[in-house]
Amino acid sequence: MKPKVGKTAPQATREEDRYLVPIVAKTIDLLDCFSGENEAMNLKEIIERTGLPHTTAYRILHTLVSRDYLTQNGRLYRINKLRRRLKFAFANLSTQISLAVEIEHSLRKATSASGIDLTVWDNDRNANKAIQNGEEMAARKVDLAIEFQLFEHVAPIIGDIFARAHIPVISVVNPHHGSLYVGVDNYRAGFSAGLALAEYAVRHWHRKIDALLLLESPPAGRTVQSRLIGAWRGLESKLGTLPHESVNHLDSGGNKETARAAVRNFLRKQSAKKISIAAINDETAIGAAEACMEAPDGRNIAIVGHGGSSEMCDLVAAPKSPCIGTVSFHPELYGPELVAFALRVLRGSSASPAHYISHEFLAKDWLMSRSKVG
């Protein structure tokens, strides 16, 4: 425990210095008793460190909280980081992925408008790079870290890096277990995609589906994979339970090239004519579409993606594309909603561990009409 401020650093009294304002001196003593921004103390601990009378300490604390120099959470007080210019760090998934680029643009705009310094790292879709970036971010002693990375198995490592540095971390799009989260509800987003596949089958295939392809990405983890569970459930909610043998789980690698190869291989080996494809993200949906457009005529294929990237929207709007829609994650909303959520966290306000951003299914007809207007 720290010694009392008055015992280690005796200050001039009013009798010794007629210009001294005692209550201001006591207020500074109280602020100085905190060892840093991350330390939290209750009233009793503050009194023990400062030697201030109970009533005086309480009134100063109340005033400092009301003027935002301290934050209060229950009985604990902390120095308010928001009294200075904040430093945020963002490790983005990749500069080569449309959704990630759009989220970064939104975040840069929102932090600039809020007077927050933002430094950006590129995880380059690489697990080791994500760990290295986390270490660099922690070394910068940023106030808050934002993580967009793909691999579930390195999430605990990255989380531990920030925990040891006492830096709160928010994961986006792909949730990290144990972290705060800002992004869509992955299961419900998938469910909406499944409903769209079912409605397409009702309108065009007399409710008949020969094969359902789920383009998975196992390294992304169970929460992201829940998009495909949602798609499966959404489809069956309208069409009834599919025969077990008609549901196919393909490892898409989470990227265009692997998805293209996996779907091409499926089409080469299978004779199914009416095929519904739920892709874990827009990239894999685009890869699947490329494979399907290479296949011989006679196949009826409907593909849905997740993300709502501009590249995917353009493909959906193409009349001959097998893509019938994508679930938009509204990347333009991430910046302002991330900043608002992060500030609540740093103030010590009670915040839920997850803040869901709205999602929306963008159907082919709508995107085609928008394309014509454009």
* CA 83, chain centre distance (Å): 26
CA distance 231 to 193: 6
pLDDT band at 296 (very low <50, low <70, confident <90, very high): confident
CATH 1.10.10.10 fits 5-82, yes or no: yes
- What are phi and psi for residue 293, nearest 5 degrees? -75, -15
| pLDDT for residue 2 | 44
pLDDT band at 7 (very low <50, low <70, confident <90, very high): very low
Instruction: Say if CB 360 and CB 193 are below 8 A apart.
Output: no
- What are phi and psi for residue 357, nearest 5 degrees? -95, 140
- DSSP track, 19-34: T--HHHHHHHHHHHT-
* Residue boundaries of the structural domains of the chain: 5-82, 85-183+332-356, 186-328
- b or e along 322-360 (b: 16 or more beta carbons within 10 Å of the residue's beta carbon)? bbbbbbbbbbebbbbbbbebbbebbbbeeeeeebebebe
- Confirm whether 85-183+332-356 and 186-328 share one CATH topology: yes
Higher local confidence (pLDDT), 18 or 210: 210
pLDDT band at 350 (very low <50, low <70, confident <90, very high): low
CATH 3.10.20.30 fits 186-328, yes or no: no
pLDDT in tens, 145-183: 999 998 999 999 999 999 999 999 999 999 887 789 999
Picking from 307, 271, 280, 277, the residue whose alpha carbon sits closest to that of residue 291 is 277
Fold of domain 85-183+332-356: Rossmann fold (3.40.50)
pTM as predicted:
0.77
In the predicted structure, residue 248 carries a pLDDT above the cut 90: yes
- Give me the mean pLDDT over the 60-67 stretch: 91
